[in-house]
Amino acid sequence: MRYTVVLTGEYPPIAREILAPAFDVIQHPTEQARTEEEIITILSEADAAITLLGDPLTRNVLAANPNLRMVANYAVGYNNVDVEAARELGITVTNTPGVLTDATADLTMALMLAITRRVVEGDDEIRTTGRCEWEPMKLLGISLQGKRLGIIGMGRIGSAVAERARAFGMEVVGSRRGESIDDVLATSDVISVHAPLTRETHHIIDAAALSRMKPGAYIVNTSRGPLIDENALCDALDSGHLRGAALDVYEFEPEVNPRLLRMRNVVIVPHIGSATDEARTAMARIAAMDVFRFLNGQPPLNPVVPQPRA
């Protein structure tokens, strides 16, 4: 029997190179905000699939195709997957951990520098005026040296950010899952968010948490958008309580809060934490190899929902 593997987006070529010799591969164009009905149709022929973080792998979707046996989510996170439904239906789910740690940590530092040194504002000024005019008090920011970085979520990425921040001369404090973040919020000049999205961490940075941050502090989020209540964040920025924010992820992706778009003290980029040639290719290789192993009767290497026992 020749299995069919569905790719729900345009992944790096290594995925097809691994899968096409052994299986029938159907590749769909990358699309934003698919509905349940659309993803059910896309997966209708799949024995296994490589899926995007934005694909809603709900119970209805997972149950719609009785031949679907395995999903390789092209991401570290898997909050788009109903893992309990997958477990009950006997569908194996994998992710792509580890390989995007450095890329995301690098972007975190880039965003931290961009917001604290007002890089985007300066770029916009020159593009708008066509001039470079030096003034003693223009676009003053802060130095990172000697400042305290508070990391919420000291996992792989959070730890990699801490290593980089110390090289910039920052003092680093952090909290792990289940720990109080109050001291981190109250004492840090910059907060960087790296927690996974769960029921417990949804809006972990809400109005109350923002009010506990140091006046004039900055916040950076390269994790998951719904960890921050964006309207509360905008209120804290409007009031001057926070000096700036830098975001790679958004509460209601792919939509972005219009208030954020109007703020000059906010740096925004389109979810590019893992967007390096090296990281995205490695993610595709991991996802494809797990599909290859699974369909050849071997256990995948990165299970979120393990392969059911025979």
Catalytic residue selected from 28, 118, 224, 280 = 224
271 is catalytic: yes
202 is catalytic: no
Report cis status (omega within 30 of 0) of the bond before 56: no
The CA distance from 269 to 247, in Å, is 6
What is the strand order of the sheet 242-247 is part of? Answer: 171-175, 148-152, 190-193, 217-221, 242-247, 266-268
Q: Are strands 4-7 and 48-51 parallel, antiparallel or unpaired?
A: parallel
The CA distance from 192 to 177, in Å, is 14
199 is catalytic: no
Catalytic residue selected from 148, 253, 259, 293 = 253
Answer for the pair 23, 295: CB distance below 8 angstroms, yes or no.
yes
Answer for the pair 106, 237: CB distance below 8 angstroms, yes or no.
no
The CA distance from 75 to 80, in Å, is 10
Answer for the pair 251, 228: CB distance below 8 angstroms, yes or no.
yes
CA distances from 302 to 73, 79, 104, 188 (A): 10, 16, 20, 35
* Residues recognised as catalytic: 224, 253, 271
